[in-house]
Amino acid sequence: MQRILIDTDPGVDDAFAILLAMRSPELQIEAITTVCGNVPVAQATQNLLTTLGVLDLDEFPVIAEGEAEPLVKPLVLATHVHGDDGLGNTNQLQNTDNSPLYPPANTSIVSASGVDLILEMVTRYPDELTIIALGPLTNIATAIRKDAKKMQRVQKIVLMGGAFETYGNVTTTAEFNIFVDPHAAHEVFQFDVPIHIVPLDATHQVILTGERLRAEIDKREGKVSQFLRDATQACMEFYREEVGFWGFHIHDALPIGTLTRPDYFESVRAHVQVETEGTLTSGMTVADLRPERQHPNPNAYVCIKVAVEVFLDYFFDRLQ
C-alpha cells in the first residue's frame, strides 16, 4: 500500500485522476491539497468536494486549501477549456427539486493551509509519502521554502507537467501546469528528491474519444458514469473547435497509472530544467531525452511512452 498526498487544481482531468486514485486499492490517499491553476483555489476546493461527492464513501482524506497565487507570475486560468466552474459546469446542474445534481462531499476542510498539511503529512509518514502533483507546483515549492529539511523526507514526487519533444498546450513551448508557475517548477526540479514527470509527450498519446466514452458509459449505470458524461462535455467541445477531434486528453489520470500499473509506461532518466524568464519560452521544460546524450546528473524520470489501449481499459474498469 502506497501512502499518497494529492495536490490538485480540479479541472476535469484532475477530477478523473482523483476518482481513479480513490478507486485504486494499491493507494492509501492520506490527504488532498488544492492549489490555484485551472481555476482559483477556492473554486478548486469546491470542485474537489464535488468530485469526492460522486463517490459513495464513509471516510474521506484530510483536505486543505493551498496557495491562491503563483510565486511570481499573475495567475492564468483554464476555464475556457474546463468550463466556467472548471468542472464542465457540473456545479450548475440540478435535480428536479432544484437540489444540486452533484452535491459536495459531506466532509470539512481543515483550518491548516495546504502547505502546512503537506509538511504535516511528511512528518507523519517520513520516507513513505508520495506526492502526486496534478496542478502547478506552487504548494510544493512553498513547502520546500518553508522547511526543506522536512521535505527531503518525501519518498518521491510524481507530477503531470512539461513538454519536451512535443509542442506545449498554452504556448508553443510550454505546458499549462509549468507555465502557470515556472518559478515553482524550477525550485521543485532543483530539489533533491526523486521526481517522476508525466509530460504532454506521454499524455497526448492517450485520446479519450467521445465515441469511446459514450460506449463505455452505455455499459454502466451509476453516479460515476453520469459524472464522466456530464463533466466532459465542455472539454470535448473545446477540443472539437480548437484541436479538431471530439474527445479530450485525460492528462492527470496518467500519473495515477504510473503508480498502480507501472508496466504500462516507459520512462527515461534526464536532467530537467525550466525556463522562467524567456519572453517566448516561459514555462518551457528543457531536457535532452536522447539515450546517447544522457546528462551526468539526471534529476528526474520522464515518461515517454504509454500502452494506450490497455491504459484506457484499466481506466474504465476502475471507474465502473
Apex 232 CA angle, 302 and 259, nearest 5: 30
Active-site option among 82, 183, 186, 251: 251
All 3 cell numbers of residue 243? 484541436
Neighbours of 127 (CB within 10 A): 9
Q: Which three cell numbers stand for residue 272?
A: 530537467
Question: 2-318 falls under which CATH superfamily?
Answer: Ribonucleoside hydrolase-like (3.90.245.10)
Alpha-carbon distance of 32 to 87, in angstroms, equals: 17
Q: Where are the domains of the chain?
A: 2-318
Rounded-to-integer distance, Cα 210 and Cα 203, Å = 17
pLDDT at 219: 86
Annotated active-site residue 196? The verdict is no
Residues 175-184 have pLDDT tens digits of 999 999 999 9
Tens-level pLDDT at each residue, the chain (320 residues): 899 999 999 999 999 999 999 999 999 999 999 999 999 999 999 999 999 999 989 899 999 999 999 999 999 999 999 999 999 999 999 999 999 999 999 999 999 999 999 999 999 999 999 999 999 999 999 999 999 999 999 999 999 999 999 999 999 999 999 999 999 999 999 999 999 999 999 999 999 999 999 999 888 878 999 999 999 999 999 999 988 889 999 999 999 999 999 999 999 999 999 999 999 999 999 999 988 787 889 999 999 999 999 999 999 999 97
